[in-house]
Amino acid sequence: MKHYFCIFSVQTSKIKEYLFPPFFQYFFRRRIVKCLLCHQVSQDHSGVPLRVDGRYSLQEPLSLGAYATIYKAVNIINHQIYAIKLEACSEERISSVEREYYILKQLCSATVVGIPQVHWFGQESSFDAMVLDLLGPSLHDLLGFQGKFDPLTVHYVGNQLLSQVHYIHSRGYVHGDIQPQNILMGLHQSLTIFITNFGGSTQFRHPETGAHVPFCQMSSVLAGTPAFTSINSHLGAKLSQCDDLRSLVYLLIYLTCGTLPWLQPRHKSRGFKHTAYSAILEHKQTIPMEQLCADSPKLSSMLLYIHALSFSETPDYGYIHSLLRNASDQSQLSIDEVQIIRQDLSQADCNDLDPSAAQCLSPAPPRHRQVHTSLSCGPTSFSVKSPMIAV
């Protein structure tokens, strides 16, 4: 039996590209990963409660991170579906789930689109638990279909994300890990984009005075995802607004090209942390601007402006928006162009992909243990809407 299986495996590896289109290969890999995930969770988290707050019944796991695990859950009272993030309680540190809860409470608002809503937080058994909106596939999931997005889609995504990042900064926070696995779509073919995973976010302004934190190198521990994080993060420095914006540009280049110059192709499908950190840093420090933006030259103006920002300088978000609009050559899209965007961002069936799976994948380790539950700086209301089309 083993002999026949080996023959089948070898033959399959040779002819799979002829028999199975990328769509089927992609979902076959997803099913295997999901089975392995369920097996690992059953081994490592045998003490996970069956219910949270007495009303949320845990279903299958959606993702397993270094600190937290996300489960699909059903409210047994109203039968609504949610995502629940669990992390084992610790006496030594504040959990990333608790940190994320306090940050989301500062960010969530009825006028803000693209920030996940928190429905409940507390301790259940020996776990910190947070109940969130269930979201759709991540940009990383969607890229599995065709490898890269149409430029129209990239600029649409960029405008939404820039508005959301602007709002996060207006509340005094830096996200610190803007990358495809942390950017999720809404459910039901929605074109609304959500930024998730705030467990490693930090404040760049003093919560009482509103003063910008001074530049300093904190540690040698890298925060965020190496492929998309800024050079300052590689060097262990405190992060500011310009660092999030640099990560955003790297993300847009990645969506345009399907890769980044410092990502080795054989590591791309396995995640973003397999290429040596030092090699990525060296590549970011030495690559010419024109080479980095070779396949997306219209993003070069945006990158040049962001690279010129100082650590404590407040970016001109309106100017960056104008650069993105110039990159897309127009501010209003035709019906055909909207269909192109929908095709890129709505291809995946949310029942087959892992919703909300990105929220705790490779979470950044908390840089500060102190959690501020109030923040005085920033506006009390802020509307984040798509500058290109209404969805």
Provide the angle, in degrees to the nearest 10, between the axes of the packed helices 300-307 and 317-328.
160
**Alpha carbons 228 and 247: distance in angstroms, whole number:** 5
Cα distance between residue 155 and residue 325, in whole Å: 8
d(C-alpha 294, C-alpha 257), whole Å: 10
Question: What is the identity of the amino acid at 173?
Answer: Y
Q: H or E element: which one contains 133? A: strand 127-133
> Does the annotation mark 349 as catalytic?
no
Q: What are the start-end ranges of the E strands in 215-256?
A: none
Task: Give the span between the Cα atoms of 56 and 77, in whole angstroms.
Answer: 9
Burial of 333 (0-12, 13-18, 19+ CB in 10 A): middle
CA distance 291 to 296: 10
d(CA 53, CA 383): 32
Hey, which bits of the chain come out as E strands?
Answer: 51-52, 56-64, 68-75, 81-88, 118-124, 127-133, 173-174, 183-185, 193-195, 202-203
Q: Choose the catalytic residue: 128, 133, 141, 177.
A: 177
d(C-alpha 168, C-alpha 177), whole Å: 13
Task: Tell me the one-letter amino acid at 303.
Answer: L
Closest CA to 124 of 221, 50, 220, 72: 50
| Spatial CA neighbour of 387 closest among 339, 327, 346, 332 | 332
Integer angstrom CA distances of residue 355 from 73, 140, 308: 12, 12, 37
Both tokens of 374, joined, read 């109030």
How far CA 286 is from CA of 254, 338, 356, in Å, comes to 18, 38, 35
Residues annotated as part of the active site: 177
